[in-house]
Amino acid sequence: MRIRPAVKSDREEILSFCVNTFGWGDYIDRVWNYWYKSGQLLVVEDGSRKIGMSHLAICPDGKSVWLEGVRVHPNYRRSGIATQLITKMTKYARQKGTRQAFAIVDVTNVASQRMMEKSGFAVVSRWAYYSAGGRPSRIKSGARLATIDELDVTWKYLQHSKIYSLSARRYVKSWHWYSLNKKALRDFIRERRVIVTGGPVNGVAIINRHGYWDRTNILQIVYLDAASAGPLRHLVSFVTNVYLDGRFEGLQLVCHDSKRLTSFIEKFMIKEEEQFLLYNKVFTAKHTPTQ
């Protein structure tokens, strides 16, 4: 058995077993070409058979690596193949200077959870995903797009927010969870993607108007945080109105799986929902032998 970079002809044989991973199927067929072009796509081969795959992406901060798409052919499971893929990916990422790794696992995928834990990963956050169905009605909202003058108050709000800390201080981009630091917040305010309520600020939502992968016409809430039900209602109403004003084909929300947020969201017209665990492993410092 050997692990090697993917080649073009691997696609079909690998995709043949990337099915039914989730209740709705799998997404590997939608990302294979992007991942292939990134050059960080691995395939496991046993003789002439292709029996496993995985992908890694170095995060924009250069300090973390994102691990994803671990798949092993059903006939070859429980023989350590996924563990070897994870070891290979983390070794490569460490050589590239990263200090920690992240991955996301569906709450119902027990095999994958055990696999992550066996490789030394721990759960640092739990997230919920919702996709809205139907056509919501317009609701009056007291929320607004944050201006650059509001950077400091918004940042201060986040730093004292329990939800920010429970969210592992992260937001979502194309199903990768990245650090929501002050620089990212500043960039998002400039891009007119930050919505706030209250004075002082008592709720923050960050949106993405460009979807992900092959679905670019989706409006997403990629971070959501509110001190109570009132500000939450204003934020969600504001985003609903952005959705109605634009020609989006879908509205999605990804946020920390807190009762405070989800009990309100669940009153909306929900078409799909899923919960995920965010896993993290901090690499230990390498031992440097003393002279």
Binding mask 24-63 for ligand COA (x = CB under 6 A): ----------------------------------------
Q: Which of 77, 88, 126, 144 binds ligand COA (CB under 6 A)?
A: 77
Say if residue 278 is exposed, middle or buried (CB neighbours under 10 Å; 0-12, 13-18, 19+): buried
Q: Which of 40, 98, 112, 208 binds ligand COA (CB under 6 A)?
A: 112
Dihedral angle of Cα 154, 160, 166, 170, to the nearest 10 degrees: 30
Q: Three-state secondary structure along 52-67?
A: EEEEEEECCCCCEEEE
**Which among 107-115, 127-135, 225-233, 236-244 is the span making contact with ligand COA, rule CB under 6 A?**
107-115
Least distance from C-beta 35 to ligand COA, angstroms?
A: 14
Q: Which of 207, 282, 271 is nearest to 238 (CA)?
A: 207
Tell whether residue 21 is a contact of ligand COA (CB under 6 A).
Answer: yes
Least distance from C-beta 134 to ligand COA, angstroms?
A: 30
Q: Which of 72, 185, 204, 232 binds ligand COA (CB under 6 A)?
A: 72
Q: Could you tell me whether strands 41-46 and 49-58 are parallel, antiparallel, or unpaired per DSSP bridges?
A: antiparallel
Q: Which of 16, 75, 79, 217 binds ligand COA (CB under 6 A)?
A: 79
Tell whether residue 83 is a contact of ligand COA (CB under 6 A).
Answer: yes
Tell whether residue 240 is a contact of ligand COA (CB under 6 A).
Answer: no
Tell whether residue 96 is a contact of ligand COA (CB under 6 A).
Answer: no
Measured between alpha carbons, how far is residue 226 from residues 50, 124, 137 in Å?
47, 20, 22
Q: Strand, helix or coil at 3?
A: strand
Assess contact for 142 and 197: CB atoms under 8 A: yes
Assess contact for 67 and 56: CB atoms under 8 A: yes
Query: In angstroms, rounded to a whole number, what is the distance separating the alpha carbons of residues 80 and 2?
Result: 13
Residues 119-158 that bind ligand COA (CB under 6 A): none
Q: Strand, helix or coil at 277?
A: strand
**Which among 29-37, 72-80, 150-158, 263-271 is the span making contact with ligand COA, rule CB under 6 A?**
72-80
What contacts 137, CB < 8 A, 6 or more positions away?
none
Q: Which of 14, 115, 128, 168 binds ligand COA (CB under 6 A)?
A: 115
Tell whether residue 80 is a contact of ligand COA (CB under 6 A).
Answer: yes
- For ligand COA, the closer CB: 21 or 179: 21
Tell whether residue 114 is a contact of ligand COA (CB under 6 A).
Answer: yes
- For ligand COA, the closer CB: 79 or 147: 79
Judge if the upstream peptide bond of residue 289 is cis by omega within 30 degrees of 0. Answer: no
- For ligand COA, the closer CB: 120 or 211: 120
Phi, psi of 282, rounded to the nearest 5 degrees: -90, 130
Residues 246-285 that bind ligand COA (CB under 6 A): none
Residues facing 224 on adjacent strands: 205
**Which among 78-86, 132-140, 204-212, 251-259 is the span making contact with ligand COA, rule CB under 6 A?**
78-86
Residues at the interface with ligand COA (CB under 6 A):
21, 70-72, 77-83, 105, 109-112, 114-115, 118
